Structure 1
Amino acid sequence: MDLSNSLIQFIETTGFANLTWGNVLMIGVACVLLFLAIKKGFEPLLLVPIGFGMLLANIPISGITAPPVMELGPDGLPVVKEVGGLLYYIFQGDVLGIFPPLIFLGIGAMTDFGPLIANPKSLLLGAAAQLGVFLTFWGALFLGYIPKEAASIGIIGGADGPTAIFLTTRLAPYLLGPIAVAAYSYMALVPIIIPPVAKLFTTKAERQIVMKQLKPVSKTTKILFPIVATILVSLTLPPATPLIGMLMLGNLFRECGVVERLSDTVQNALINIVTIFLGTTVGATATAEAFLNWKTIGIFLLGAFAFAGGAAGGVLLAKLMNLFVKEKVNPLIGAAGVSAVPMAARVVQKMGQQENPRNFLLMHAMGPNVAGVIGTAVAAGVLLTLYR
């Protein structure tokens, strides 16, 4: 009898006995993300940690995301009763706004701003790609979201996970889970989302436009750019300083030529570590309780509209520019104005090659792509200035 009671008690404490249909569904979603990352190659650096974090968070009674439990001790001071789960503590790097700027530091160190400097018109394309952010912001307001929620949802259109996390933790932290997962999921799905949007707004002849090789940029200009950009953007929009400052510091490490060890660390070890922590904890926010509701579904639908609107905004401005410039711009590069670096630029390069084998758009697309990173950080700074 004692043995049977012990066996029943053991079974009741297993995850199997505590599974809900919501847990099963979210574990299934996690496995789909892992399949897309491993089998299909959809941005595995993002989807593998996100998918596995989602899986971990939906294991019942594991406590891996549980906060610590405090109680008052005999002396009236708080003491820890239960220490909390591993992912809860790592997640504080998201909540406190530590991980997103560190990701920007790594992006800056890995990115060549030369194409943007060589073709300043790229800044306009990156700015136009923020159309999705502000259209979705107004759309969310119309649907009944409060301004802080609408701003956090709209920033998904920048296709920049770190910026979405950075803004949401300051405006609507209770929406961090669905917004972070939506932002990173759409980043990973860039190869699926951008091509139909770009083709919808362009003709075959426009997609076949061949662009001339960009002029080289001097070393001095590349060194001055991150310094000047930090001063101008940060003085204009102080709330954007953590993101812009880290992005430009990383780029200065890359270009100045006197801190190779720092540049190497930021480009490799640091960004890899932060990506593991950030991706896993973002996935861990996708619990059944947080995700299986209409508000979260609405966020994902609005996020998809925001992303598509951003790509469309860049394409449409490129088409408009062609009415006034002598050297025509291939409108496909406008779709790279979203902030997913360098994924969006690679997708544009592939599309250009399919339309015209003589088309080499990668470096041209990197200009709007880098401008999109800056533009999304600026858009976040504007929204923070207005609504924090």
Structure 2
Amino acid sequence: MDFSFLLDGITSVTWQQLVMYAIGGLLIYLAIVKEYEPSLLMPMGFGAILVNLPLSGAINQTMEGIGNVNGIIQWLFETGIEASEALPILLFIGIGAMIDFGPLLSNPKMLLFGAAAQFGIFFAITVATLLGFDLRDAASIGIIGAADGPTSILVSQILGSKYIGAIAVAAYSYMALVPIIQPFAIKLVTTKKERMIRMPYNPGSVSKLTRILFPIIVTFIAGFVAPMSVSLVGFLMFGNLIRECGVLGTLSDTAQNILSNLITLLLGITIAFSMRAEEFVTYHTLLIMGLGLIAFVFDSIGGVMFAKLLNLFTKNKVNPMIGAAGISAFPMSARVVQKMSLKEDPENHILMHAIGANVSGQIGSVVAGGIILNLVARFL
């Protein structure tokens, strides 16, 4: 009996698939050894290997003598992302349940940093358009700057971008690399003296009623200003309302832990479907990674420069590093800013200010995503 068919897989491997095995291995390495967002990079890395095995049963195949065979990863992608965007949207319930908006509510001006730190998104969209990407793809690439994986996936999927895999990998990678990239970006535009500015933390009292009304009001405002952001902002705020209402403790715990972990796991391995070698190993992928880095760096710089501008008109100076925490990578960015402040001055504790800006950035990124969707809809 001829068993040569057992070697068909090995003989069918292409060099592009070998590249994807290396990328998958790198993501797994970063997750395990460097502990860079392991819950995200681990399933993405392993999924990249699964979908790039020749004749992989993880994606749809037509087998001789059997017919069509449905692959689980492709089914999850087509059902949970392509058809409904359900996975990234459901994740926002868990994210909202994790966030304490108290530091923001006690110092509302931190909302400004969440807006200013979205500059890189629109800058990258402009650059991507000039480099020849159509508006749909350029807008999808720009949102990488928010360092918010679910938002990047959702925007690129709704816009029908051809590069959703590269965009997802870039967004999650830069989200994981916040501790490396942000210090570089911050130091580019600040002096040691500016990084040593102290900010006493005197939080005002935030009532339970305020905490409950905040997610409801934000949903109304975002819905009227950027209607396409309702699914993003609405589910984020719904998760936060579960947290703050005080009568759904069990559901809040479930959203923060079981739901978030399960959806993150499924989302990571599902998005790997768009990392198939024939679509991923291209010149455009490298270009997208570069543009995503530009967007992320300029988001950080935009927040810092806004803080420096604010200092020209205020008596109580703001440590400009706070502005960089206005990106969506919560709570990594706030921790990075705190670590940098302590390195410059061991007695300078600005963590709570940074958290206020950071949670504002979470709102800012999803609203920016909605604004982009509305703008693209009007131009196309």
1:343 aligns with 2:332: yes
The AA in structure 2 aligned to 1:291 is F
In 1, distance between residues paired with 2:164 and 2:81?
9
**Shift in alpha-carbon separation, 1:67–1:369, aligned structure 2, 3 A:** farther
Q: Which residue of 2 aligns with 1:166?
A: 154
Question: 258, 261, 264: which one pairs with 1:275?
Answer: 264
Contact kept in structure 2, 1:55 and 1:284, CA below 8 Å: no
User: 1:329 aligns to what SS in structure 2?
Assistant: coil
The offset of 1:81, in angstroms, is: 4.5
Question: 262, 283, 297: which one pairs with 2:286?
Answer: 297
Q: CA RMSD in A?
A: 1.6
Contact kept in structure 2, 1:127 and 1:337, CA below 8 Å: yes
The AA in structure 1 aligned to 2:324 is A
User: 1:82 aligns to what SS in structure 2?
Assistant: strand
Q: Which residue of 1 aligns with 2:71?
A: 85
Q: Deviations over 1:296-352 (max 9, x none)?
A: 211111111001110110111111111111221111111111111111111111111
Question: 108, 112, 118: which one pairs with 2:106?
Answer: 118
Question: 357, 360, 382: which one pairs with 2:371?
Answer: 382
The AA in structure 1 aligned to 2:97 is A
Contact kept in structure 1, 2:136 and 2:161, CA below 8 Å: no
Q: Deviations over 1:363-382 (max 9, x none)?
A: 11111111111111111111
1:203-242 aligned at under 5 Å gives the runs 203-215=191-203, 216-242=205-231
Q: Which residue of 2 aligns with 1:191?
A: 179
1:7 aligns with 2:3: yes
The offset of 1:119, in angstroms, is: 1.5
* Divergent runs of 4+, >6 A: none
1:30-69 aligned at under 5 Å gives the runs 30-66=24-60
The AA in structure 2 aligned to 1:10 is L
The AA in structure 2 aligned to 1:287 is R
**Shift in alpha-carbon separation, 1:192–1:68, aligned structure 2, 3 A:** farther
Task: Point out the structure with max Rg over C-alpha.
Answer: 1
Q: Which residue of 2 aligns with 1:321?
A: 310
In 2, distance between residues paired with 1:99 and 1:363?
31
Contact kept in structure 2, 1:68 and 1:85, CA below 8 Å: no
1:244 aligns with 2:233: yes
In 2, distance between residues paired with 1:375 and 1:65?
36
User: 1:326 aligns to what SS in structure 2?
Assistant: coil
In 1, distance between residues paired with 2:253 and 2:5?
53
The AA in structure 1 aligned to 2:364 is G
The AA in structure 2 aligned to 1:24 is L
The AA in structure 2 aligned to 1:94 is I
The offset of 1:83, in angstroms, is: 3.6
Tell me the number of residue pairs that the alignment of Structure 1 and Structure 2 aligns.
372
- TM-score, length basis structure 1: 0.92
In 1, distance between residues paired with 2:202 and 2:16?
52
**Shift in alpha-carbon separation, 1:253–1:10, aligned structure 2, 3 A:** same
- TM-score, length basis structure 2: 0.94
The AA in structure 1 aligned to 2:89 is P
Contact kept in structure 1, 2:60 and 2:68, CA below 8 Å: no
User: 2:128 aligns to what SS in structure 1?
Assistant: helix
**Structure 2 residues not aligned, in runs of 5+:** none
In 2, distance between residues paired with 1:371 and 1:323?
22
**Shift in alpha-carbon separation, 1:258–1:298, aligned structure 2, 3 A:** same
Q: Which residue of 2 aligns with 1:74?
A: none
The offset of 1:48, in angstroms, is: 1.0
Contact kept in structure 2, 1:116 and 1:122, CA below 8 Å: yes
User: 1:174 aligns to what SS in structure 2?
Assistant: coil
In 2, distance between residues paired with 1:284 and 1:343?
27
The offset of 1:9, in angstroms, is: 2.6
In 2, distance between residues paired with 1:56 and 1:184?
19
Higher alpha-carbon deviation: 271-280 or 368-377: 368-377
Q: Which residue of 2 aligns with 1:151?
A: 139
